[in-house]
Structure 1
Amino acid sequence: MTSIFFRSIKFLIGAGFVFVLLLALLGSITGLINEPPKQTAEQALHKHPKELELASNGPLGKFDTGQLQRGFKVYKEVCATCHSLHMISFRNLKDLGYSDAQVKKIAKEWAIKQPVFDEKAGTWGERDNLPSDRFPKVYYAGTGNPPDLSLITKARHDGAAYVHSLLTGYGEKPDPAVAAKFPEAMKTPEGMHFNPYFANLNIAMPPPLVSDDQVKYDDGTRATIDQMAKDVSAFLVWTAEPTLQKRHQAGLAVVIFLLFATGLAYGAYLTVWRGMKH
């Protein structure tokens, strides 16, 4: 009798616990239905990145080396002052079509040098970059360091499309009807810049691309703001995954091999079982 009594008590306690949880769940669902959460200013004013067509898109995509060289020039002349590219070595630029002599020249003339510690003097010095060196880190004199761009298209949702939209989105204004609902959000703090593609709408980085022909392309391509943003986005896809094209080629070869092997296996199956009765 005692054991039956205790089992009954445990059952009632468990049932009561489940009942309380169900009541709490029902209350939460009812609350969400009756009073849905209010839309925040960031949710209302934030824009989804615009689609960006690049040669590297898709499972069969491959790099456009001409575009990558243009994108590198934009990075060098516009972005490199504040943003590092520390996961890439100068010699990796050979994959973009640069010769050994050109890579050596680019490394030597790079504005930021390699830090060197003199053990005898106990002080830091500098030396010219070598092709084997990684791009030196940038130490910004302001509050904090801007992010390294080596993996930015992997670290941000929508990758290259996000970078392109962010670079070209400084002049875009939200729908006036939507903006009128959130007047406080439209007051850009001092030292910040409104950009609807940035997560919290205000970004410390001023517009890096301010006018057409800010960079002069060697191949004669017109350097509009949109073109420069597109080219540097393509370049940053390459820095994030330099082996993307080789991976695509290897994947295609594997698929073709598997299809061929499947055909051989099916042919062998028909040959072995031909004439056999079940």
Structure 2
Amino acid sequence: MIRFVSFGVGAVFSLALLVGAFTPRETPQPDPIKALQKEHKEVHFAHQGIFGQYDRAQLQRGFQVYKEVCAACHSLNLVAFRTLEDLGYNEAEIKAIAKAYEVPAIDEKTGEDTTRPAIPSDKFPSPYANSVAASAANGGKIPPDLSLIVKAREGHEAYIYSILTGYEDAPAGFQLPEGGHFNPYFPGTVIGMPKPLSDDQVTYEDGTPATVDQMAKDVTAFLAWAAEPKLENRKRAGVGTIAFLAILLVLSVISYKKIWAGVKGPKPHEG
């Protein structure tokens, strides 16, 4: 009896496999959101490539965009003011920049929480007192810290640049949620951040026209530096190491040939 039951179960299972194998599959419905998603824009920066270096003038312009536009919502809490020396600012300028910010402190007399002007060793403070305040001011979402944003997102510089320059009107029939904005370069195409850049939003000290494209490139370059300030040192070390190994390889080949030049191999066996 058990044997017949086993055969029956096996037959039913085999029949199910055959039906599944030969039954035509339904054509999957395309995801309408993915259809609206766009690939990152093509963009090049001076620091890219094995020999690339940061453009200091561009970094200073990008810092100005961050300071005047992005810093209202986004923190940069892994970057110390003193590292702005890498951008070409001198000690007095760095002190002046830091002094414009207030950082948390403890009153020495009362022990209560207070604030004080920042000094070069401090890091860029958050524009909000805490995460609750940040969430309340931005529709329930906390703006991400920008210290490592370029490294933290797939596409890196191209992703940031595409987001900043990719705001468009939503297609006909597309329902935007309350507080949402259409950006086909953002995953899901709906982003909570309003369009941050507009032409002539800042006035560059070097006279560079402050177009959306230019400001997006500049602030992206600055954020790339913030995420990897020692990029140039790493590249120099890498190129030096490759050059050293190449020279060592050549010397090794020459030495090998010189040492074994007079040594003959064994004669083939005569049979």
User: TM-score per shorter chain, which class?
Assistant: 0.7 to 0.9
Mapping 1:182-261, distance limit 5 Å: 183=173, 186-210=174-198, 212-261=199-248
Distance of 1:89 and 1:34 partners within structure 2: 58
The alpha-carbon deviation at position 120 of structure 1 amounts to 5.5
Q: How many residues align?
A: 247
Question: Gaps spanning 5+ residues in structure 1: where?
Answer: 1-11, 174-178
User: 1:258–1:240: structure 2 CA closer, same or farther, 3 Å change rule?
Assistant: same
Amino acid at match of 2:30: Q
User: 1:41–1:119: structure 2 CA closer, same or farther, 3 Å change rule?
Assistant: farther
Distance of 1:148 and 1:122 partners within structure 2: 29
Structure 1 equivalent of residue 112 of structure 2: 123
Distance of 2:142 and 2:59 partners within structure 1: 25
Amino acid at match of 1:207: K
Answer whether contact 1:151 1:236 (CA < 8 A) is retained.
Answer: yes
The 4+ residue runs of structure 1 with deviation greater than 4 A are none
1:46 counterpart (25, 32, 37):
37
User: TM-score, normalised on structure 1?
Assistant: 0.82
User: 1:240–1:277: structure 2 CA closer, same or farther, 3 Å change rule?
Assistant: same
Amino acid at match of 2:127: V
Structure 2 equivalent of residue 72 of structure 1: 63
1:35 counterpart (16, 21, 26):
26
Answer whether contact 1:116 1:124 (CA < 8 A) is retained.
Answer: yes
1:148 counterpart (145, 149, 166):
145
The alpha-carbon deviation at position 213 of structure 1 amounts to 1.5
Distance of 2:227 and 2:158 partners within structure 1: 14
Deviations 1:15-53 (A, max 9, x none): x8xx98xx59x95x878x723432212210011110110
Question: Gaps spanning 5+ residues in structure 2: where?
Answer: 1-5, 129-133, 266-271
1:103 counterpart (85, 94, 100):
94
User: 1:77–1:264: structure 2 CA closer, same or farther, 3 Å change rule?
Assistant: same
Structure 2 equivalent of residue 3 of structure 1: none
Q: Greater share of helix residues, 1 or 2? A: 1
Deviations 1:92-148 (A, max 9, x none): 0000110011100000013xx111133753531100001000111232342232000
Answer whether contact 1:166 1:198 (CA < 8 A) is retained.
Answer: yes
Between the aligned residues of both structures, percent identity stands at 51
Structure 1 equivalent of residue 158 of structure 2: 161
Answer whether contact 1:172 1:196 (CA < 8 A) is retained.
Answer: no
Amino acid at match of 2:92: A
User: TM-score, normalised on structure 2?
Assistant: 0.84
Distance of 2:212 and 2:22 partners within structure 1: 50
